[in-house]
A and B are shown apart, each in its own frame.
Chain A
């Protein structure tokens, strides 16, 4: 059993080795329910592998992941998703040949069994949910457009809406503002902030302005371990972090 039962998610001594290369090295991290957490780190620090371990894509060589007190190791991806872990990918991954509405239907529909999908119509409250999500991300007037014809930013938002529609307890958001304009970035930050509280959100990004705007606790990853944890100000004044990641302002 997990010793820290209050944590929604805890990673304990996670090590992932790809043929000798340690992508994650004895990583420990825990999240409280309702928390918004930013994860930053230089390229190759293991940020995406960290998400892969939680969502079941990569099996750690060592260590354990607990979510709501249950170990996630050895569970299939779709089982983990059904437990309440949702993920948004680095580059927007929406179903390009389906319309905006159909994309959202896929994420909102429950139960996710073939029989339910083939012989039952979508529930009314789920249709309302889809309308609501489209309104939030400003895609209401594009509901019948193929997702493939959306702009990059709109795809990012559609994927965030799909993530929210899944109603996960834990949202893992990988680089949500890559390729977005400043204005869109600010809106995304506000959206994510408004989601935390009810939801637990992990945001991975490089954009320091964006992270600052999230106004959350930050974990800095370097070479597969957590280098430092704290508020943005603590992080920015931490000598180790400056050395490996932020760089000295004078230079």
Chain B
């Protein structure tokens, strides 16, 4: 049972994909509306988790501030929906502006009247913000735990800023999307939510393939090189600042898409998206699923969140203990995460412990065998 080098045959891969696609198409018919909505939301979280895996699992940048980019994507989507659905309100601007005596749309929201601009803004704006923040930090060679603290501080700055801006973004109340209109339908309606589920599922798959493409080959190898020994990369003639900025910006863009999808499926975006625990949770999903595996990030995000909602329904208030326990378990027993354990030596070691599998041959004997084979040739 060699899991890592096990190449799934074309047929098996095909069958797995057929099952996945069949499930995505059929899910709205199988699952109750409430569960479908939860699954859709958790799938959208898988996209931000992919970004976390790219920057942390591959490049070694532990960001505790991905909530910033997640929320930015959410705000872009929500504001577009509010503006397009504001024709019956005074001044043709979203209703909440009236509460604070604002008569004109703030200038920076003007471009969000355009659907195309908004569609790009959802990922381009978070990517740009991440790129700028990243460039300044990386250029000054801030790394390791200092980088983590800095991203968390940035998160708090954004959180407090967004909380206080009633006149621009409705402050702490956030922007509701449930009763807005999109393609002539209400966003919160059942049929619209079903569409969002399908779009989310497709985008998760697309984001996964995109991430795989990014880390495949030499670019991905440089990221791993930066994670393991950054000065060595420098002395080989590469500029790590550029590579780190690019990957941090990509992760920001993914977080933005994720936030937008999460917003339309939960019906609201608010500064709560930028709380400290939420951004830490994103890291936990990836740690549990398996750092540097990409698929582990997706599975971690979806399963942990689903478990969270199931556990919270059955035993309210116990989830925090379970999540904490899960994190301790991963740190102490499964440093590679669940998927990393499965792909690595984990299953074989377990079988060996129970005497069900022969011990692996040691290095010297392998070398002797190689030599013998060379002589045979």
Interface residues, chain A, with chain B CB atoms under 8 Å away:
55, 57, 76-78, 81-82, 86-87, 89, 93, 95-98, 102, 105-107, 109, 112-114, 117-118, 121-122, 141, 149, 162, 166
**With an 8 A cutoff between CB atoms, is B353 at the interface?**
no
**Contact in complex: B218, A105 (CB < 8 Å):** yes
Query: A112 touches which one: B224, B238, B246, B374 (CB < 8 A)?
Result: B238
* Shortest beta-carbon distance from A103 to chain B in Å: 8
Instruction: Tell whether, in the assembled complex, residue B229 and residue A93 are in contact, meaning their CB atoms are under 8 Å apart.
Output: yes
Check B237–A95 contact: CB distance below 8 A: no
Q: Are B236 and A97 in contact (CB under 8 A)?
A: no
Q: What residues on A are CB-neighbors of B232 within 8 Å?
A: 89, 93, 95
**B188 adjacent to chain A (CB < 8 Å):** no
Q: A57-B231, A93-B232, A95-B232 are in contact. Are A118 and B221 (CB under 8 A)?
A: no
Contact A162 B242 (CB under 8 A): no
Q: Does B222 contact A (CB under 8 A)?
A: yes
How many residues does chain B have at the interface if contact means C-beta atoms less than 8 Å apart? Answer: 26
Report whether B370 and A81 are in contact in the complex, using a CB–CB cutoff of 8 Å.
no
Cβ of A105 and Cβ of B221 under 8 Å apart?
Answer: yes
Query: Is the CB–CB distance between A166 and B218 below 8 Å?
Result: no
> With A96-B228, A97-B224, A98-B224 in contact, is A82–B237 under 8 Å at CB?
yes
Interface residues of B in 254-284 (CB under 8 A from A): none
Chain B residues closer than 8 Å to A112, beta-carbon distance: 236-239
Q: Which residue of A107, A113, A117 has the most chain B CB atoms within 10 A of its CB atom?
A: A117
- The answer to whether A114 touches B242 (Cβ under 8 A) is yes
| Shortest distance from the beta carbon of A160 to any chain B beta carbon, whole Å | 14
B228 touches A117 (CB 8 A): no
* Contact status A55-B243, CB under 8 Å: no
Assembly CA distance A106 to B233 (angstroms): 9
Interface string of B35-52 (1 = CB under 8 A from A): 000000000000000000
Complex CA–CA separation, A117 to B213 (angstroms): 12
The contact sample of 22 A-B pairs, CB cut-off 8 A, is A57-B231, A76-B239, A77-B231, A77-B234, A77-B235, A78-B234, A78-B236, A81-B235, A82-B237, A87-B235, A89-B232, A95-B224, A96-B228, A97-B228, A102-B218, A105-B218, A106-B222, A106-B233, A112-B237, A113-B242, A118-B218, A141-B374
By beta carbon, the residue of chain A nearest B374 is A141
B259 to chain A, nearest CB (A): 25
**B:201-233 near A, CB below 8 Å:** 214, 217-219, 221-222, 224-225, 228-229, 231-233
CB pair B214 A107 closer than 8 Å: no
| Residue among B237, B243, B246, B374 facing the most chain A CB atoms (10 A cut-off) | B237
Residues of chain B having any CB pair with chain A under 8 Å: 214, 217-219, 221-222, 224-225, 228-229, 231-240, 242-243, 246, 363, 370, 374
CB distance from B377 to the nearest CB of A (A): 11
With A89-B232, A95-B225 as contacts: A117 and B237 at CB distance below 8 Å = no
CA distance A81 to B231 in the complex (A): 12
A114 touches B243 (CB 8 A): yes
A10 CA / B234 CA spacing, docked (Å)? 23
| Cβ of B296 to closest chain A Cβ, rounded Å | 16
| Residues A109 and B235 in contact in the complex (CB < 8 Å), given A95-B224, A114-B242, A114-B246 | no
Nearest Cβ on chain A to B59's Cβ, whole angstroms: 12
Are B219 and A117 neighbours in the complex by a CB distance under 8 Å?
A: yes
Q: How far is the CB of A94 from chain B (nearest CB, A)?
A: 8
Q: Are B229 and A95 in contact (CB under 8 A)?
A: yes
Knowing A93-B229, A95-B225, A98-B225 are in contact, say whether A117-B218 is a contact too (CB < 8 A). Answer: yes
Most A CB within 10 A of own CB, among B214, B218, B233: B218
User: Do B218 and A122 touch (CB < 8 A)?
Assistant: yes
**CB distance B217 to A117 under 8 Å?**
yes
Nearest Cβ on chain A to B353's Cβ, whole angstroms? 23
List, in ascending order, chain B residues with CB within 8 A of A55's CB.
235
Chain A residues with CB under 8 Å of B240's CB are 78
Other CB < 8 Å A-B pairs besides A106-B225, A117-B222, 14 of them? Answer: A76-B234, A77-B231, A81-B237, A87-B235, A93-B232, A95-B221, A95-B225, A95-B229, A97-B224, A97-B228, A112-B238, A112-B239, A149-B363, A166-B236
